[in-house]
């Protein structure tokens, strides 16, 4: 017989009962229990009346709430320090609103995002900065809280269609995330016509989520195409600006395009060294170049040359402030929203061929066995001899004759060695599949392709990784006293997600060792190799990526787990990333002396840059999703192969080939109800017991395509190899 838990002196005291109940119910916020069930579940040494009395007390304190059949459930709606025995903490974070209306609060003060039910969001919208109150309950893996204060609104403008009513106008937002209409006073409408597409500035948020939001029209989008409206709405909904303020443009017009002899004399001169860029065919801004110089002893020096943006963009200027606010360029399917105006990104700072250009360089000398002999970091001047596309460089690597073939082949051999060494020390080899679209003259997709990564792509990547690593290592080891710096870090995988994934992979016969971070990386790389020959294993890679932490910018260096680097930063793309601008400035200031910026101020900048990076990623994915759904328009009734990419209570998400568009099969359309485990790695038929798993191959039919909602409704035709 199992012994029951006892308090001091025998039976569990009232105070202990409440503590035990709080700990248990708060860890299972979606479950409901009565006194009898709790006694059995927790093996309590207390009477049913005593447990029920404790439950009622906790209800009065605002910790639980009572539902049918004398059952009680965890409740946070009245949680505060005055009427509950549970201590709380108040954190500040960013709202990530999900489809259900609930939210996750992303905060640097918690390793796990804080879940907020829809009814406790206090009218906060996606991206808002808020205060969230969280109960401090021991043993609870997934914290849950409620928003108690909105600190700053992210959305200041909306793009939408204007509807005019007798007493007011209303802008109905076109947004990736749910957002309410914005009312416009009749006196502020002017001569704007009904159904016009407009941009409205929000002027009044009201007091709570039930009060109307008011604004004023700042722009009318005349003769804009459907595609243009969609892309602009994505930009607005993620908080980016399309144009640049007049004062920024005015500053750019005053920047001199002349490189003086005085400036050249301050720099190392690489203009006589073989130098070239390798970029996509459609690229307009070239922010990195490679050079190769050979010496009589058989050694070679590889130069990684990066556009010297900070020479032109001075600290504290309107241009600098605007670049920091944006923090990143945003790459949509059919356009780029640049971090810098075109006069810098495509002209002054772009390493165009046959032009002298100012750069920041990491030069590494290798002996004939490709071992590092020396490193040099500093400002320099180059003259690019050739602009290669990736395709042109790849042809030479595959044996075609062409300019700089020796240099390219030697760089490729060296890149292979660098890559092999990186994987040996635990770098993870995952590559998520990317798509690109062929568009017609109306920007409508006419074909979808998977991007191929060949040696030319990886060659460039390996030398950028090397330069980023060298720079971070230089600053980290320059002094015994810390020099605050912008590191690019990547934490170890979340253990709970990793355990769920490992259990799922084990069902497919793949053993993922989770005992140490290094063994995790080794197992995932072994899985990646298997995926080259086994399509089913290939489908595990996106699931494995979900177990990973997100890389961020911070002054606290914890290393980069995914790359297996102890020191890593971003130095190689200052045209499109403000983090690299900060790195260039700190690096230059510390080449000949030791200079320190205030770490707390730098960390605030890192948080902003990381936040902007997430928003840009969200915008880029939204534009891809829009084009994928648009590509499926008119294909209703057609059948496609695909695989299960997600499972929720309502149904299955299916990723279809070849478009990689994601649609949903509703469980309501299927021939039996399904049970979903907490891990959401499969759905099990209640009657048949058959499981449809994540990654399962399926055939589906397209029922309906809704471009406005970016949704594709599917019918399940066949499940392949149910296990």
Number of separate helices (H) and strands (E) present in the chain: 18, 33
CA–CA gap between residue 503 and residue 373 (Å, rounded) = 46
Residue 269 in tokens: 């001169």
pLDDT at 391 over 70: yes
CA–CA gap between residue 56 and residue 223 (Å, rounded) = 63
pLDDT at 380 over 70: yes
Contact between residue 215 and residue 183 where contact means Cβ atoms under 8 Å apart: yes
Greater pLDDT, 69 or 282:
282
Sorted by sequence, the CB contacts under 8 Å of residue 639 that are 6+ apart come out as 699, 700, 701, 702, 717
User: Looking at residue 243, what is its pLDDT?
Assistant: 86
As its CATH architecture, domain 157-224 has: Beta Barrel (2.40)
Q: Which of 152-156, 214-218, 355-359 has the highest mean pLDDT?
A: 355-359
pLDDT at 320 over 90: yes
pLDDT tens-place string over residues 360-373: 999 999 998 889 99
Contact between residue 444 and residue 401 where contact means Cβ atoms under 8 Å apart: no
* 633-719, CATH topology level: OB fold (Dihydrolipoamide Acetyltransferase, E2P) (2.40.50)
Q: Pick the range with the lowest mean pLDDT from 46-60, 94-108, 647-661.
A: 94-108
pLDDT at 3 over 80: no
Q: Which residues of the chain does CATH 2.40.50.140 include?
A: 88-152, 633-719
**Rounded to whole angstroms, what are the CA distances from 580 to 231, 559, 568, 570, 574?**
27, 17, 12, 5, 5
Average pLDDT over residues 254-274: 96
Q: Pick the range with the lowest mean pLDDT from 37-41, 96-100, 361-365.
A: 96-100
Average pLDDT over residues 247-261: 94
Buried-exposed string 592-622: b where 16+ CB fall within 10 A, e elsewhere: eeeeebeeeebbebbeebbbbbbbbebbbeb
Taking the CA atoms of 134, 494, 125 and 64 in sequence, report the sign of the dihedral they define. negative
CA–CA gap between residue 106 and residue 607 (Å, rounded) = 11
* 88-152, CATH topology level: OB fold (Dihydrolipoamide Acetyltransferase, E2P) (2.40.50)
Sorted by sequence, the CB contacts under 8 Å of residue 626 that are 6+ apart come out as 230, 231, 234, 333, 707, 710
User: Looking at residue 67, what is its pLDDT?
Assistant: 78
User: Looking at residue 325, what is its pLDDT?
Assistant: 93
CA–CA gap between residue 342 and residue 62 (Å, rounded) = 57
When computed from its CA atoms, the radius of gyration of the chain, rounded to whole angstroms, is 29
pLDDT at 4 over 70: no
pLDDT tens-place string over residues 344-361: 999 999 999 999 999 999
User: Looking at residue 721, what is its pLDDT?
Assistant: 66
pLDDT at 8 over 70: no
pLDDT tens-place string over residues 579-611: 999 999 999 999 999 999 999 999 999 999 998
Q: Which residues of the chain does CATH 2.40.50.700 include?
A: 157-224
**How many Cβ atoms sit within 10 Å of the Cβ of residue 185?**
13
CA 412 to chain centre: 30
User: Looking at residue 367, what is its pLDDT?
Assistant: 93
pLDDT tens-place string over residues 505-546: 887 778 888 888 888 888 888 888 777 777 667 767 777 877
Contact between residue 330 and residue 340 where contact means Cβ atoms under 8 Å apart: no
What is the reported pTM? 0.79
Average pLDDT over residues 469-497: 93
**Rounded to whole angstroms, what are the CA distances from 75 to 30, 57, 140?**
10, 13, 15
CA–CA gap between residue 188 and residue 468 (Å, rounded) = 52
Residues across the chain: 723
Percent of the chain with pLDDT over 90: 52
Q: Where are the beta strands (DSSP E) in 253-408?
A: 268-269, 274-279, 288-294, 300-307, 330-331, 336-337, 356-366, 372-383, 386-389
- Read off the pLDDT band of 5 (50, 70, 90): very low
| Distance in angstroms between the alpha carbons of the first and the last residue of the chain | 39
- Read off the pLDDT band of 16 (50, 70, 90): confident
* 14-74, CATH topology level: Arc Repressor Mutant, subunit A (1.10.10)
User: Looking at residue 141, what is its pLDDT?
Assistant: 57
**Rounded to whole angstroms, what are the CA distances from 34 to 25, 28, 51, 67, 139?**
11, 14, 9, 10, 21
Residue 712 in tokens: 């594709």
User: Looking at residue 97, what is its pLDDT?
Assistant: 81
């Amino acid at each position: 017989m199992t012994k029951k838990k006892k308090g001091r002196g025998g039976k569990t005291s009232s105070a202990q009962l409440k503590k035990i109940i709080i700990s248990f119910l708060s860890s299972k916020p979606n479950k409901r229990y009565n006194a009898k069930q709790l006694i059995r579940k927790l093996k309590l040494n207390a009477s049913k009346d005593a447990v029920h009395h404790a439950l009622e007390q906790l209800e009065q304190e605002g910790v639980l709430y009572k539902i049918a059949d004398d059952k009680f459930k965890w409740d946070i709606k009245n949680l505060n320090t005055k009427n509950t025995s549970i201590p709380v903490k108040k954190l500040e974070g960013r709202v990530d609103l999900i489809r259900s209306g609930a939210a996750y609060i992303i905060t640097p003060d918690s390793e796990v995002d804080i879940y907020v039910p829809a009814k406790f969001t206090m009218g906060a919208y996606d991206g808002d900065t808020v205060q969230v109150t969280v109960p401090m309950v021991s043993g609870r893996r997934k914290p849950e809280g409620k928003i108690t204060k909105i600190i700053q609104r992210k959305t200041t403008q909306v793009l939408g269609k204007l509807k005019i009513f007798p007493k007011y106008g209303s802008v109905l937002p076109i947004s990736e995330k749910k957002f309410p209409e914005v009312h416009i006073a009749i006196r502020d409408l002017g001569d704007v016509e009904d159904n016009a597409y407009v941009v409205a500035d929000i002027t009044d948020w009201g007091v709570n989520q039930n009060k109307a939001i008011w604004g004023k029209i700042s722009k009318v989008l005349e003769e804009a195409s459907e595609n243009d409206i969609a892309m602009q709405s994505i930009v607005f909904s993620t908080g980016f600006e399309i144009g640049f303020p007049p004062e920024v443009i005015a500053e750019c017009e005053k920047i001199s395009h002349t490189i003086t002899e005085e400036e050249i004399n301050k720099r190392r001169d690489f203009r006589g060294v073989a130098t070239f860029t390798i970029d996509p065919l459609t690229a307009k801004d070239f922010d990195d170049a490679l050079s190769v110089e050979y010496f009589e002893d058989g050694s070679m020096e590889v130069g990684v040359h990066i556009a010297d943006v900070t020479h032109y963009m001075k600290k504290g200027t309107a241009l600098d402030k605007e670049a920091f606010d944006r923090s990143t360029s945003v790459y949509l399917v059919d356009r780029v929203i640049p971090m810098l105006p075109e006069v810098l990104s495509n002209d002054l700072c772009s390493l165009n061929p046959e032009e002298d250009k100012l750069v920041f360089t990491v030069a590494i000398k290798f002996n004939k066995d490709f071992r590092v002999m020396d490193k040099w970091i500093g400002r320099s001047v180059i003259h690019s001899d050739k602009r290669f596309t990736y395709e042109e460089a790849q042809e030479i690597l595959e044996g075609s004759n062409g300019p700089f073939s020796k240099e390219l082949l030697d760089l490729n051999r060296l890149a292979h060695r660098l890559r092999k060494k990186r994987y040996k020390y635990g770098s993870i080899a995952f590559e998520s599949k990317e798509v690109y679209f062929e568009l017609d003259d109306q920007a409508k997709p006419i074909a979808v392709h998977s991007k191929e990564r060949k040696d030319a792509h990886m060659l460039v990547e390996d030398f950028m990784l090397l330069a980023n690593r060298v720079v971070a290592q230089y600053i980290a080891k320059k002094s015994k006293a810390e020099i605050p710096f912008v590191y690019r870090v990547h934490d170890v995988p979340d253990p709970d997600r990793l355990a769920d994934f490992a259990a799922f992979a084990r069902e497919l016969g793949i053993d993922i060792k989770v005992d140490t971070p290094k063994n995790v990386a080794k197992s995932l790389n072994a899985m990646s190799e298997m995926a080259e020959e086994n399509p089913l294993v290939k489908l595990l890679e996106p699931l494995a990526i979900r177990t990973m932490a997100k890389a961020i910018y911070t002054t606290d260096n914890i290393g980069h787990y995914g790359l297996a680097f102890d020191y890593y930063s971003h130095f190689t793309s200052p045209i499109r990333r403000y983090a690299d601008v900060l790195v260039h400035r700190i690096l230059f200031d510390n080449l000949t002396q030791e200079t320190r910026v205030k770490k707390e101020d730098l960390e605030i900048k890192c948080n902003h840059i990381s936040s902007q990076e997430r928003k840009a990623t969200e915008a880029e994915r939204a534009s891809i999703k829009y084009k994928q759904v648009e590509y499926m328009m008119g294909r209703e009734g057609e059948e496609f192969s695909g695989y299960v990419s997600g499972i929720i209570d309502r149904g299955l998400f299916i990723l279809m080939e070849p478009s990689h568009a994601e649609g949903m099969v509703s469980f309501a359309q299927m021939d039996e109800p399904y049970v979903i485990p907490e891990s959401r790695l499969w759905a099990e038929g209640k009657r048949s017991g058959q499981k449809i798993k994540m990654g399962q191959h399926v055939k589906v039919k397209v029922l309906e395509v809704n471009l406005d909602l970016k949704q594709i409704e599917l019918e399940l035709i066949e499940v392949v190899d149910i296990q």
